[in-house]
């Protein structure tokens, strides 16, 4: 089966802002993807649950406390997309499977599961 991906063009700052059914907001840049969601798997610090996660092309994940603000997002449905150096697959529940094309590092970014794949 041949799947055609949709190209997401960056804004004037070189970034793409997206959202899905479960990812409130995500910022896609060549250097990272940062996602904000109600992560049930997120760690807590000083009683506060992390609200975001950053995936880097080198395969590292970093939890974030705070939010991305009110970004002008493109609402994505289930499907395959390309943005900057990332292949992005939106799965049925609104989670993301992302792969950095330059390094081949892949991630699962879902409300219940966040991991390097």
| In the chain, where the domains are located | 6-116
Q: How much is the average pLDDT of 3-7?
A: 87
Given a contact cutoff of 8 angstroms between Cβ atoms, the answer to whether 80 and 91 are in contact is no
The CA distance from 61 to 109, in Å, is 10
**Token pair recorded at residue 106:** 């892949």
Q: Percentage of residues in the chain with pLDDT exceeding 90?
A: 87
Q: pLDDT tens digit string along 49-97?
A: 999 999 999 999 999 998 888 889 999 999 999 999 999 999 999 999 9
Q: Is the pLDDT of residue 38 over 70?
A: yes
The CA distance from 62 to 51, in Å, is 11
């Amino acid at each position: 089966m041949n799947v055609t991906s949709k190209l997401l063009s960056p804004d004037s700052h070189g970034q793409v802002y997206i959202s899905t059914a479960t990812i409130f907001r995500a910022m896609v840049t060549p250097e990272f993807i940062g996602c904000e969601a109600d992560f049930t798997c997120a760690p807590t610090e000083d009683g506060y649950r992390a609200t975001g996660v950053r995936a880097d092309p080198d395969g590292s994940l970093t939890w974030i406390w705070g939010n991305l603000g009110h970004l002008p997002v493109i609402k994505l449905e289930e499907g395959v997309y390309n943005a900057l150096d990332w292949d992005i697959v939106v799965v049925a529940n609104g989670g993301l499977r992302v792969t950095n094309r330059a390094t081949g590092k892949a991630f699962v970014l879902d409300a219940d599961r966040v991991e390097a794949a």
